[in-house]
Structure 1
Amino acid sequence: MAVLVLLLLATFLPSTALAAFSPAFSFFLACGAGSTVTFPRDNPARTFTPDDRYLTTKSVAAVTNASPNSAASRLYAAARASSSAFSYRLSFSDSAGQAAFLVLRLHFFPFSPASPSTVSISSARFAVSVRLQDAYTVLSSFSPPSAGVVKEFFVPAGASGEFRVTFTPDAGSAAFVNAVELFPAPAELLWNGSVTPVGAGAAAPDKAAWPKDALETVYRLNVGGPEVTKENDTLWRTWLPDDPFLFGPAGASMLQNTTTAIVYATYTRELAPDVVYKTQRAANVSAAGLGAVPPRFNVTWTFSAEPGSNYLVRLHFCDYEPPSSVVGVVIVFNVFVAQAIGTQDFTPTQTQANTALYMDYEATAPISGNLTVSIGMSAKSSQGGFLNGLEIMKVRPSESRGSSRRVLIIALSTVLGASVLAAAALCLFFVVRRKRRMARPAPLEKESSKPLPWSQESFGWVLEPSSRSGEGTTGAMQRVSTQLHIPLEELRSATDNFHERNLIGVGGFGNVYRGALRDGTRVAVKRATRASRQGLPEFQTEIVVLSRIRHRHLVSLIGYCNEQAEMILVYEYMEKGTLRSHLYGPDSDGEAPLSWKQRLEVCIGAARGLHYLHTGYSENIIHRDVKSTNILLGDGFIAKVADFGLSRIGPSFGETHVSTAVKGSFGYLDPEYFKTQQLTDRSDVYSFGVVLFEVLCARPVIDQALERDQINLAEWAVGWQRRGQLDRIADPRILGEVNENSLRKFAETAERCLADYGLERPSMGDVLWNLEYCLQLQETHVRRDAFEDSGAVGAQFPEDVVVPRWVPLSTSFMTTDDPDDTVVTDVGVANSKVFSQLSSGEGR
């Protein structure tokens, strides 16, 4: 009922309930339109007027939409487009001199023109710059997504002036715009209070210059509540729900709301509307430690951001409880921004309940991983934290400040040039050594590499090749063959324009479709969605990893596409789908369950693929998202590991781990990695151990519908395994065919994978050896003592079974029984036919 009330409040809130915002001046332009476009439901109502008299170049064509299909699209029924640069000049005078910033909104909605046009706006790529007191390039090589986008900027203003916004096409392309908004921002909106710097670059000197820079809104969320449309926001903003950006387990947070009026003690609702402060997401403290949620679990939101760029992060809070309602109880929690502490022991409680409050943070996006915001429990309180709203704005420096920095860099380069030349001779020796190693495959670039030669755009991803020389031109993608690129039109044809009947799966990255290329190759096409929790870094990582490695038990990458704001990955088609679907998914209905032998062979195949990642490449690759939906089955139920978007290079020689932000899937996530943020290949082993129990028990890893002690599969299964009662947890459909010793050894291997500490877990090679042994036990039905170790074998074995009594930890060679597998050296014995498997007369 509370949620219903909130939805009704957000949808039907009358304009009289909010105080109208009245700017000193405003410009609302319907570009290319022949008449005005009015929005009476806006608060206050707005009228967009034709743009002709503001254009500095009168020859810019007006393009008309062939099929406007909604009331909102009246504003997008036309556009101003050109293959040459064009500008708008907007003159204003702020007599009160109150505006520190101007709000600039640009509307971009590509469409098919009603009549033939020499300008194609569907493939337009262009830059946008503005000039007032200073000049700013707010968009570079920008290509609007096909679904359209509204870009919002805050530009430093003066008391009066002439504002220019210029659209400059890239070479051989065009520029367009559907609508322009410009009005002064309320004085309280930006840099009106203290700002807390966070992260490693918090003390950087240029942070003091941020108030002189432009800002681009990249995320604006109503945390815990529904979407807030422009009709219900006094500044005509849109606040999106926060659900797509949540990271972590279900049940870690809960929704709260209030129907009491919001108190604005020091500012007005121009900062954020009432509905944002009336809903919040809070940490679910009562669920912590009950199996579904680890104790003291943070509530985290994750956002894709440009590595190394600066962001202003604003968090909105509203405490619904009056300070005196509970004697001695005060809400205290920690706030984390950009993987660093923002505010420790934060107390949002005000002198009056329901008082709106916000905190601003200066943050630099990490070089690796996403930008995150978290609320976590403090040692000073047993109460959980909460958050009402969240805004993230990217800093766009002025061109003059950028030029000054470039001059400084040039000067420093000149001074250091002599030193570099002097040191060149010392480097010659290492260059010669490097040439000797050129025949080896180039190592996978680490996440801490240079910025990618693609950039990202807010409220949806836009992939664009970098056109700036010297910037991002040596990134990892440069070493991916261009032959892997597949045109978007071919993929549309292969999937019947991504028709729903070809939809075979939905994941965190996007939808997966079946299709066939022109040469008849059957493929699986994974297309990113705008609401995807993953983005450009995962897209690049997947391409880089799979374009470098090749193994029978790793899914092959056919190609990729990054045209027209799309992120698409094309893989070999796996006819049987995911392992999960054959255990307990909807696709398994009516099908014969996988036999125990088939399950063992699937696990062995997946283990071989993971073992190759860990040891068979020039660098150790950690998958970081091992789960049953990422193990795909082909003809003959051949298992292949898929989805490498979260993969990382393992620790270098002499290191024990890689420090990184925690990523993975809840239920499969290594608790040691979660606590320490130190990643090793044993984290994959833990996740694979969960998969093994999933194969054995044929149930989800987290099932909230079960009793408390059964919710978490890993904890529940380990408990019964230690009691020696596997029949209580094993899939009853296979119990009649399973050899007791094979089952026991399998569960024992899974339990060892789930050890609390990575050092206590086996390597993936050891896991593979044990699984192959389990299969031999199943095939030969060897009778053994229930407590006999697999390394000490009695005389009960058939004569044709080769039994190793001791297995060395490593060897200097490796052989493969698969011609598709890459032969490597110094990788252990897990794939050796002599040491890793017991050969029976029947074979496999």
Structure 2
Amino acid sequence: METGTAVGFSPLLLFFFVFFTVLFPFSIPFTPTDNYLVHCGSTTNATVDNRVFVGDSSKPGSLFLSEGRSVPVADANPPRNSTVLYRTARVFRTASSYRFRVGKTGLHFVRLHFFPFVDRNFDLTVATFSVSVNGFSLLRGFRAEVAVIKEFILNVGEEMLELRFVPAGGSSGFGFVNALEVFSAPDDLILDDGARKITASSTQEFRNLSSQVFQTVHRINVGGSKLTPFNDTLWRTWIPDDDFLVLKSAAKRAVATDPPNYQSGGATKEDAPDNVYMTAQEMNRDNVTAFARFNITWDFPVESDPGGVRYLVRLHFCDIISQALNQLYFDVYINEYSAYSNVDLSVLTYHVLASPYYMDFVVDSDSSGILRISVGPSEISNPGKVNALLNGAEIIRIVSSVGESDGSKKKNLWVIIGSLVGSIAAFVIIVVGILLCMRCGKARQKPSAASESTAYTQLRVLGGSSHSKLSIGRALASPGANGCLNLRIPFVDVQSATSNFDKNLIIGSGGFGMVYKGVLKDGTKVAVKRGVPGSRQGLPEFQTEITVLSKIRHLHLVSLIGYCEEQSEMILVYEYMEKGSLKHHLYGSRYPPLSWKQRLEICIGAARGLHYLHTGSAQGIIHRDIKSTNILLDENYVSKVADFGLSRSGPCLDETHVSTGVKGSFGYLDPEYFRRQQLTDKSDVYSFGVVLFEVLCARPAVDPMLAREQVNLAECAMQWQKKGMLSEIIDPHLAGDISASSLKKYGDTAEKCLAEYGMDRPSMGDVLWNLEYALQLHEDGRQREPQEDSDADVADLPTKGTVRKVQPQKAETSEGDYVAASSDVSTTQVFSQLLTSEGR
């Protein structure tokens, strides 16, 4: 009787055990099947982060070492705070291998620890060698001059894993390693399907991801502190995001007090530890209105390769800032392209608040050496509750593919259960199988249709499409039907001009899409900007660009040749600017350095274009995105302002500003506009001031690779300017090519542009006047009379003397009437050559 009771009770216990194991898999800590930890060059074991690293010299013949000639070495004077793992090393004099038996095929972590020191026989800082695993190259010509850990994730399909070290440089060369980790990774750490491949022209699914070899580049705890291997179930290190934030004032830390709500279908503790999901960066709305819209952006240094190095970008999310479900909607951008629109974590986590979730994206690098990630509010965000967040980020280089694993990605759980229970009743196996299927079915559901990017709607009216969720807001006056119809270009003509969008004709890319060089049927060279569905800018910017550029013509504004909106395409066709952007002539390209005179003339031309924008109509037009990439040069180095997608009409005569969400580029953004959401033409003046310092110093507005006090160019340059030592940071190519008086006038002008408050900044007319004077000082050293060196508006200046113009030109007003521009203009005239009385 007792025996019968025992037999009858066992299946019931087993059923509940399996039931809760399947429903609540996250409560069971991960234990790797294979777990090899090696303390290289040591005769003793070492315990680090509760893990035991076995000395590879503890037994005769060296444990795990299979071949080659190597010797153990020890640091006679180790740093006081160094871990015991880094006080010894294994030095390889010839090609040598460690071999590890694999008990479970599939994903494995391989970590190589390098901590170079100088032994009496070896200087480890000069060792150059290669490392491979099972014949696949991980490191080639590698030299560890500083302490570094190289982490790889790969799919092992064989019963043996061989790590091979090959010294470079013949018999005198050698390699080394301080510690090794080889251990199994969770089966579902990297799934074959579900990653999005982000390109300039499309967003599509990337398959067979787990068959790749991965090398970790950055692992970031966004909004949190550094996490050591002790705090991670996979013994990873997560570092803070502070040094990668482009604009720290745009972000605010968020911290949760309760642990995340893990549930089936979301992320697990193996994907990222609790502490990653309990901290985040959200939009800093403390000093802005509840409706303000801006992005939080991080720039991560990566390998610079024009041919494209592929990266897996894993972003971790957990809504710890909302008080209820369906309050948070945001967009994700990678390298300025839309990666995921209208993210709703409430839906993705099956309506569980504060539940972890991650997204995988595959992107290609470019020649910039920067991988940019941004999050910002969605256009469908709840009014007054616009926000966005990010909890963690991993940037992982995809090295290559080594083929599929012979092992299955998933355990066939019902077979294991069947082998355990033997003759247990069939209904138990069926129930477990059903539960397992439910779990796998939910594991990685595709985003809902509502979150997918949709094709663009046609431009029905210039004021905005009736189908668009976006609107231009404060409308720019429409040029009328005829004005736009005359600019329409058939899609077939655009295809012909670009050889059907030949990749070899690509000359640039941006948030809107790719830019191609083309030639129209009449021989006109053009730049063709082709929008892509889901792009960052989209329909409103497309409409705004047409609206603005169909109204205005000026020598220093890029001309719109036409546009195309057929077949869900959004294409803008501009005049071709032979010399490209100003940025490419300042740094990071093959172009020869510009002379000081060229730089002044370029700035003067851009200032004329901006002054025309600000004063060419009763309200004027505010550009909102002035930066060196939006100042283009023609074949004669004549500068022209471009990219009017973010432009807005200025305030009416009885208004002081336009209230609007924040738009622009980090590093150039007017801080007053950012704080108050009150836009004026002085916001353009601030951005132009950053450009002036960019031109002088030949460095980016934001450079995260520099020391913290030098990252932001405007802040750094202003400190030197106020000390009267601006010459210390100018472009070295300008040494001996710039007079002290010209530099002083130029620096003073840039400083005034960057005044904290807009009312203290000069108008673009003032800026233009001062730049022309700086050029005159450079050319002939002529001194002005005292009253001419004031900050008064140009129209109020006395008529004594003249200022020589850079070159004759003519400008076209919005009414189409050309106004001649002489080379010798009285100071009572507006220097942008807009000689009407309507300028403000």
TM-score (norm 2): 0.50
Helix, strand or coil: the match of 2:83? helix
Q: Deviations over 1:331-380 (max 9, x none)?
A: 10101123211110001124222211111112222343521111111111
For residues 199 and 345 of structure 2, the distance between their equivalents in structure 1, rounded to whole angstroms, comes to: 22
Q: Is the 8 A contact 1:86 1:166 kept in 2?
A: yes
Q: Deviations over 1:523-579 (max 9, x none)?
A: xxxxxxxxxxxxxxxxx999877995486x7xxxxxxxxxxxxxxxxxxxxxxxxxx
> Which residue in 1 is equivalent to 2:352?
352
| Residue segments in structure 1 that go unaligned for 5+ positions in a row | 1-16, 402-445, 449-539, 554-607, 621-645, 675-680, 693-710, 713-741, 795-802, 812-827, 831-844
Change over 3 Å in CA distance of 1:781–1:125 after alignment to 2: same
Aligned to 1:79: 89
The correspondence for 2:600, drawn from 598, 611, 631, is 611
1:53 pairs with 2:94: no
- What are the superposed Cα offsets for residues 452-508 of structure 1, whole Å, 9 maximum, x if unpaired? xxxxxxxxxxxxxxxxxxxxxxxxxxxxxxxxxxxxxxxxxxxxxxxxxxxxxxxxx
Letter in 2 for 1:253: A
- Distance change >3 Å, CA 691–CA 230, structure 1 → 2: closer
* Secondary structure, counterpart of 2:66 in structure 1: coil
Distance 1:670 1:139, change over 3 A: farther
Amino acid paired to 2:65: L
How big is the shift at 1:141? Answer: 2.3
Deviates more, 1:767-776 or 1:353-362: 767-776
Matched, 1:394 2:397: yes
The residue number in structure 1 matching 2:211 is 212
- 1:768 is paired with a residue whose SS is helix
The 5 A counterparts of 1:214-613 are 214-248=213-247, 250-266=248-264, 268-288=268-288, 295-306=292-303, 307=305, 308-320=308-320, 325-326=323-324, 330-349=327-346, 350=349, 351-368=351-368, 370-381=370-381, 382-398=385-401, 549=593, 610-611=599-600
Q: CA–CA distance in 2 between the matches of 1:364 and 1:18?
A: 37
Q: Could you tell me whether the CA contact under 8 Å between 1:83 and 1:175 is conserved in 2?
A: yes
Kindly indicate whether residue 779 of structure 2 is the aligned counterpart of residue 769 of structure 1: no
Deviation (angstroms), 1:311:
1.0
- Which whole-Å CA distance do the structure 1 matches of 2:639 and 2:68 have between them? 64
- Does the 8 A contact of 2:213 with 2:402 survive in 1? no
* Correspondent of 1:116 among 112, 115, 121: 121
Please list every run of 5 or more consecutive structure 2 residues that lacks an aligned counterpart in the other structure. 1-25, 405-506, 510-583, 607-627, 646-663, 678-683, 696-713, 716-744, 810-821, 825-840
Say whether the 8 Å CA contact 2:690–2:750 is kept in structure 1. Answer: no
Aligned to 1:136: 136
Using a 3 Å threshold, how does the CA distance of structure 1 residues 127 and 665 change in structure 2: closer, same or farther?
farther
Deviation per CA, 1:240-276, whole angstroms, max 9, x where unpaired?
Answer: 011111112x331111111212222125311111111
Alpha-carbon displacement from aligned partner over 1:759-782 (angstroms, at most 9, x marks no partner): x95799864323578997775557
What residue identity is the alignment partner of 1:234?
Answer: T
Sort the Cα spacing of 1:670 and 1:771 in 2 relative to 1 into closer, same or farther, 3 A: farther
1:752 and 1:761 in contact (8 A); partners too: no
Q: Measured at CA, do residues 35 and 658 of structure 1 come closer, stay the same or move farther in structure 2, by a change above 3 Å?
A: farther
Q: Match of 2:301, as an amino acid?
A: S
CA distance in structure 1 between the partners assigned to 2:227 and 2:691 by the alignment: 42
- Matched residue SS, 1:188: coil
1:498 equivalent in structure 2 = none
Determine whether 1:22 maps to 2:31.
yes
Would the aligned equivalents of 2:686 and 2:755 in 1 still touch at CA under 8 Å?
Answer: no
How far apart, CA to CA, are the structure 2 residues paired with 1:186 and 1:72?
30
Conserved 8 A contact 1:201-1:364: no
- Give, in whole Å, the separation in 2 of the partners of 1:785 and 1:237: 58
Please give the per-residue CA displacement for 1:422-463, whole angstroms capped at 9, x wherever unaligned: xxxxxxxxxxxxxxxxxxxxxxxx999xxxxxxxxxxxxxxx
Label 1:754 to 1:136 Cα distance change in 2 as closer, same or farther (>3 A): farther
Q: CA deviation at 1:27?
A: 0.9
Question: Residue 367 and residue 77 in structure 1: after superposition, are their counterparts in 2 closer, same or farther (change >3 A)?
Answer: same
Identify the residue that residue 46 of structure 2 maps to in structure 1. Answer: 37
Q: Against the structure 1 CA distance between its residues 223 and 782, is the aligned structure 2 distance closer, same or farther, given a 3 Å change threshold?
A: closer
Within-5 A mapping of 1:117-196: 117=122, 120-131=123-134, 135-146=135-146, 148-158=147-157, 160-171=158-169, 173-191=173-191, 194-196=194-196
Q: Tell me the secondary structure at the aligned position of residue 53 of structure 1.
A: coil
Amino acid at match of 2:600: H
Q: Secondary structure at the match of 1:319?
A: coil
Higher CA-based Rg? 2
Whole-angstrom distance in 2 between the partners of 1:658 and 1:144: 45
Distance in 2 between the 1:773 and 1:317 partners? Answer: 56
Structure 1: how far apart are the matches of 2:685 and 2:750?
A: 18
Deviation at 1:67, TM superposition (A): 1.6
Q: Deviations over 1:661-695 (max 9, x none)?
A: 95646558999xx9xxxxxx999744267999xxx
- Per-residue deviation at 1:747? 10
- Give per-residue Cα distances to partners, 1:1-27, cap 9 Å, x unaligned: xxxxxxxxxxxxxxxx99643111211
The 1-side partners of 2:785 and 2:33 are apart by 83
Sequence identity, in percent? 26
Q: Indicate the residue corresponding to 1:687 in structure 2.
A: 690
Any idea what SS the aligned residue of 2:386 has? coil
Deviation for aligned residue 1:286: 4.2
Counterpart residue number, 1:88: 98
Pair 691,392 (structure 1): closer, same or farther in 2 beyond 3 Å: closer
Per the alignment, do residues 208 and 391 of structure 1 end up closer, same or farther by CA in structure 2, a change over 3 Å counting?
same
C-alpha contact (below 8 Å) 2:766/2:792 kept by paired residues: no
Which residue, out of 77, 92, 104, partners 1:67?
A: 77
Counterpart Cα distance in 1 of 2:756 and 2:68: 70
Q: d(CA) in 2 for partners of 1:331 and 1:192? A: 29
Q: 1:210 to 1:48 in 2, by over 3 A?
A: same
Question: Structure 1 residues 202, 239: CA separation in 2 closer, same or farther (over 3 Å shift)?
Answer: farther
Quick check: 2:68–2:97 contact (8 Å CA) kept in 1?
no
